[in-house]
Structure 1
Amino acid sequence: MLLGSADQGRTDVPAVRVGDEAIDRSSLWEAASAFAARIAGAPAVAVHGESSLSTVVAVVGGVLAGVPVVPVPADAGTAERRHILDDSKAALWAGPALDEVGVPRVPAAPADRAPAGFRAADPGPEAAALIMYTSGTTGPPKGVLIPRRAVAADLDGLADAWRWTRDDVLVHGLPLFHVHGLVLGLLGALRTGSPLVHTVRPRPEAYAAAAEAGGTLFFGVPTVWSRIARERDAATALGSARLLVSGSAGLPAGVAQAMEAAAGLAPVERYGMTESLITLAARADEPARTGWVGRPVTGVQARLRGEDGAPVPADGESIGALQVRGATMFDGYLGLPEATVEAWTPDGWFATGDAAAVDADGRYRIVGRMSVDLIKSGGYRVGAGEVESALLDHPSVREAAVVGVPDEDLGQRIVAYLVGEGIDEKDVVGFVAGRLSVHKRPREVRVVDALPRNAMGKVQKSLL
């Protein structure tokens, strides 16, 4: 079974705590089984992804019923929510009453109990566990079909990389509708048997309190770690943790250094996509190396290819297109066979669209998206992500986005859009040149009030 059974976790602490609500594993299975009985046979169930025990019950219930779960962002707008519901063909809705939801609502209550004779379904490893939607940066969000075997393989690979066991207590406050917070942060905890403490929001004081209460494994995105690093007491409290994990974007070196100084350990990094789940991860038994997302997890292979299709040297500097394949991969985009075919190379590798470098030990460094983050300037190939990380270490810079704009002399010149206070262009350019190769320095700095972002919080560089 994907999540094991009701009696495979610890009994000395709640299996899941969300804010002030908590539930033990046996009660969770009872409530989830009641939900599963209500939705049995449905083609898919859409779940309002708020941070609550009701969401946890609905997701686990979908898994027990063998019904694909469609996580819907809690902050989705009317049009986005309607698109996800219509496109996924979800027949049921676990969430609040909303005008744009035209399918029956089904309750998911932590106090519910399984009906007599209920048995969890086992549709097999190839059945879809989730239909997760992409962020829609290049058009309407696409439904990604994630099979049960991909989820199981990924979670087992990460448990190996991070030495994650039932003796850990996982802590995070990430959304329960993304891969990071939902697949890793909920299903991962349930599969390993480790208790989960969800802080509702990833506030520094909440993470510190969870650490003092025995939390050992903490998940966060760079913004979370940045805020904790600025709160010295909170960062120090995390010194009792076994492992800190960062993902979803590159971790600025300054943030890692601040966490190292205060807590005695820096977050390790990992990389993945909705389509592939987490494919690269730094290991718990190796020192954290900021900016590097580690090696392929068990069951996954990765490679880099240049524009001519040739392998890229494993020298840690040469940049190529990242391609992956293996046990964690999706089964295609729902109802989009042409887009599915286009996502794969002729020889069977998934083209991530990301640019990366790899060293001689097989560890990868992500430098950005091939389409907007690979800048060709003066004969050099520069990754925007690397420059952005350097810029974020500058004390005056709060946010940074780097793009390449056409230039008659250089081909493309590096332009940095920055948000912050008291930013001096010459100082910032010299700051970057002192940390990276001189050719990677911005040729132009533009200070703005805010960076354009989509609903997922990702910078829309096409608008810069």
Structure 2
Amino acid sequence: MSPLSLDLSPDLFPALTEAQADPDGPGAHRPALRFGDRSLTYGELAATASPLAARVAEAGRIAVWATPTLETAVAVVAALLAGVPAVPLNPKSGESELGHIVSDSAPTLVLAAPGTQLPPALAALERLDIDIDTSAPATSLPSPGASDPGTPALIVYTSGTTGPPKGAVIPRRAIATTLDALADAWQWTGDDVLVHGLPLFHVHGLILGILGPLRRGGSVRHLGRFETAGVTRELSEGATMLFGVPTMYHRIAETLPDDPALAKALARARLLVSGSAALPVHDHERIAQATGRRVIERYGMTETLMNTSVRADGEPRAGTVGVPLPGVELRLTEEDGTTAVEAYDGETVGEIQVRGPNLFTEYLNRPEATAAAFTEDGWFRTGDMAVRDPDGYVRIVGRKATDLIKSGGYKIGAGEIENALLEHPGVREAAVTGEPDADLGERIVAWIVPADPQSPPTVDELADHVARRLAPHKRPRVVHHLDALPRNDMGKIMKRALTHD
């Protein structure tokens, strides 16, 4: 593993600074952002973002209506140049959630693309339209308000599965260190061209997908919305990396048998990366078989940015999220939250805790929640349960709150059972939960979307299937058949919505 050089200066985008300093130089003409048929070079991005940064520099805090557009990328870059914290807003959020976020974060401005109709929850905010005018001369890039790498850069709201969304305050340091650690792990350079179709209001799509290429001096081509045809086109026309979530890779896996052009395009990619949820092993194998390329996974969350990844020069092992990134400390703990799990046996389950410069600083206006999220010695409690293989690879088996099932004296992660179920030819989608059982403590419940609704697999068939692949105590005792699993915008299964009542 190569040593990691961390640039903790306020300058998050050296290539942009270079282009602004020398508008006629070769760096200024390098492609930076492309959304459909609209694009900006580094020189044009400097010319567009620098005057916007000057306008918001005294704003205190701004909201960005984060549509998957060029305007959103420019607005966030401008906020970072100005040293002003930005709050990306999910355009699909309901009025109640938006009202909470606006009240909690108290932005003074909302930035949006011209002509965009904003919801009533934002009516009280002053609006500033994002003008993409590449003909305007670039003004001097502002010097960020503080050189302290702990200065807030973004306030990203969590999904709010256990209450109102909380605003995770992400410092400039976390963005820089995460992106530089990924550059080390993925051999990511300015020559890479990233393609993705992810939303721009969260860590994966915005920080990794937009800010990542800009920090490297490379470029990103955003699809606007995910389509396999767009993936084929961009990877066939020079893109080197693809970022996606499991639902996207599942669609790719489903499409590949009848789309040789897609298979050929994926085979050209230098790196295929999946994140935000576990990619089922079945989809891993289908993609590898059709393309000769394996998808690698990484693990992160809003509060920590990225924690682990399979390295570009490592083994792309399906079902794992690789090893800790440079600069990140990771440990597993017992249920008491302090006793370390020392085993590297691929079986012993513990909660992941992390420590490092990639962490958020606080939940905005929530000191009690912030304090509860950390141990006394500074480790962040992720709530994710995992095991470690003998070589240090981490395999996540589920969330502590919803995916840790205690059955018959065993601690069982729902994720590994879900992967086993997805290997059954009669299962299209699967989720696993636990429910009270007088004898076992909890019994394992499988929620299945059958491949053929007219002939769904039986509970005995699935129980035997899981027992053969894992262990008898991990077999489901109850099976429910569904038309579809409830998912959020990122494709994550909302297990709290699963009920047999």
TM-score of Structure 1 vs Structure 2, range by shorter chain: over 0.9
In 2, the alpha carbon distance for the partners of 1:65 and 1:115 equals 14
Residues 211-360 of structure 1: matches in 2 within 5 Å?
211-232=235-256, 233=260, 234-308=262-336, 309-312=338-341, 313-360=343-390
Alignment gaps of 5+ in structure 1? none
Equivalent pair of 1:452/1:459 in contact (CA under 8 Å)? yes
Change over 3 Å in CA distance of 1:116–1:10 after alignment to 2: closer
- CA displacement 1:376-429 (0-9 Å, x = unmatched): 111211100111122223333232211111111111110011123332123322
Please report the RMSD computed on the Cα atoms of aligned residues, expressed in angstroms: 1.7
Residue 419 of structure 1 is matched in structure 2 by: 449
In 1, the alpha carbon distance for the partners of 2:31 and 2:463 equals 51
Q: Identity over the aligned pairs, expressed in percent?
A: 50
- CA displacement 1:104-142 (0-9 Å, x = unmatched): 111212215366455342522111110000000001100
* Pairing partner for 1:378 from 400, 404, 408: 408
Q: What SS is found at the alignment partner of 1:79?
A: helix
Shift of 1:455: 5.4
Residue 109, structure 1, aligned to residue 107, structure 2: no
Change over 3 Å in CA distance of 1:288–1:10 after alignment to 2: farther
Equivalent pair of 2:15/2:27 in contact (CA under 8 Å)? no
In 2, the alpha carbon distance for the partners of 1:122 and 1:392 equals 51
* Pairing partner for 1:100 from 121, 142, 145: 121
Change over 3 Å in CA distance of 1:141–1:374 after alignment to 2: same
In 2, the alpha carbon distance for the partners of 1:432 and 1:369 equals 20
Q: What SS is found at the alignment partner of 2:363?
A: coil
* Pairing partner for 2:185 from 137, 161, 166: 161
Equivalent pair of 2:29/2:43 in contact (CA under 8 Å)? no
Change over 3 Å in CA distance of 1:134–1:114 after alignment to 2: farther
Equivalent pair of 1:37/1:115 in contact (CA under 8 Å)? no
Alignment gaps of 5+ in structure 2? 1-10, 20-25
Q: Which amino acid aligns with 1:343?
A: A
Residue 369 of structure 1 is matched in structure 2 by: 399
Residue 102 of structure 2 is matched in structure 1 by: 85
Shift of 1:199: 1.0
Q: Single out whichever of 218-227 and 386-395 deviates more from structure 2.
A: 386-395
Shift of 1:54: 0.6
Equivalent pair of 1:34/1:114 in contact (CA under 8 Å)? no
Q: Which amino acid aligns with 2:144?
A: A
Equivalent pair of 2:50/2:140 in contact (CA under 8 Å)? no
Residue 422 of structure 2 is matched in structure 1 by: 392
Residues 121-160 of structure 1: matches in 2 within 5 Å?
121-124=144-147, 125-160=149-184
Equivalent pair of 2:247/2:491 in contact (CA under 8 Å)? no
Q: How many residues align?
A: 464
Change over 3 Å in CA distance of 1:111–1:72 after alignment to 2: same
Shift of 1:329: 0.4
TM-score under structure 1 length normalisation? 0.96
In 1, the alpha carbon distance for the partners of 2:334 and 2:300 equals 20
Q: Which amino acid aligns with 1:50?
A: T
Shift of 1:59: 0.7
In 2, the alpha carbon distance for the partners of 1:437 and 1:407 equals 19
Residue 54, structure 1, aligned to residue 37, structure 2: no
Shift of 1:456: 5.0
Q: Which amino acid aligns with 2:103?
A: D
Shift of 1:263: 1.3
In 1, the alpha carbon distance for the partners of 2:496 and 2:65 equals 30
Q: What SS is found at the alignment partner of 2:238?
A: coil
Q: Which amino acid aligns with 2:33?
A: V
